[in-house]
Amino acid sequence: DDRTAYVFTADHGMSDWGSHGDGHPDNTRTPLICWGSGVAKPEVHKGTIAPGHDDLSADWGLDHIRRHDVAQADVAALMAYLAGLEFPANSVGELPLSYLSASTRDKAEASLVNARGILEMYRVKEAKKAANELRFRPYAAFSEEGTSPETRMSNIQALISSGKLEEAIEETDALIQVTLQGLRYLQTYDWLFLRALITIGYLGWMAYALTTVIS
C-alpha cells in the first residue's frame, strides 16, 4: 500500500557446543531485513561481490546484494524513524541512513535529531556525575575550546542551512561517536575505585575464611 514498512529481525542463536552468552558470532549476530515504505531499495552489484559480505554470508546466494550491518541498538532508531515516532528515550542507537529512502536533506536533519537525543543523555549523566564528585574531571573531547556540544550542533545546523548536506551528515556522525565515547567515559568514571573496593572485599573475605578454617 506504499504506507507500510516492514522490519524483520530475530534473536541470536547458539554456538555448536550450546553456549548462549559468550562473544562468538553465533551469539551476537542477528538477521535484519527491511522493506516497504521509506526503505531504500537493495544496492545491486551485477557480476561482482557486493560490499559487506564475508564467510558468514558466502553461502546465502546474495553476494550481488550489498550487506549493511548495524548495531543492535540501531534497530530501535530505524523503526522509530519509519513509523514517524520520536527516537526512544535513553536509546544509544544510531539511525542507519543506508536503510532509508529519503532525500539527503531529510537524512541530515533526521541524523541531527538523533544526535541531539544522544547528546541530551550525555548532558544528564554528566550533570549527575558532576554533582556527586568532589573533583569532577570533564570529558576531554568536549572540554577544549570550540569543541563544546553547543558549538558542534550550531556548526552542523549551519551546514544544513547552507546546503552542505553530506558534510553535515559526516559531522553529525562524528558528533554521535564522540558523544557515545563520552557516555562510556561517564559510565566507567569510577572504575578504579570500584575495582579496588571489590578486590578489597574479596581479599577480606578470603582472609576471614582462612582464619575461620585455622581456628
In the prediction, which pLDDT does 22 show? 78
Give φ, ψ of 100 to 5 degrees: -100, 135
Look up residue 100 and give its three cell numbers. Answer: 532509508
In the prediction, which pLDDT does 202 show? 95
DSSP, collapsed to helix, strand or coil, labels residue 53 as coil
pTM, 2 dp? 0.82
Q: Which residue type does 91 have? A: S
Give φ, ψ of 35 to 5 degrees: -160, 165
Task: Collect the ranges in the chain with pLDDT lower than 70.
Answer: none
**Mind listing the pLDDT tens digit for each residue in 60-86?**
899 999 999 999 899 999 999 999 999
Cα 40 from Cα 180, distance rounded (Å): 27
Residue 98 contacts by C-beta under 8 Å, 6 or more apart in sequence?
40, 68
**Mind listing the pLDDT tens digit for each residue in 21-45?**
777 777 888 889 999 999 999 999 9
DSSP state of 163: T
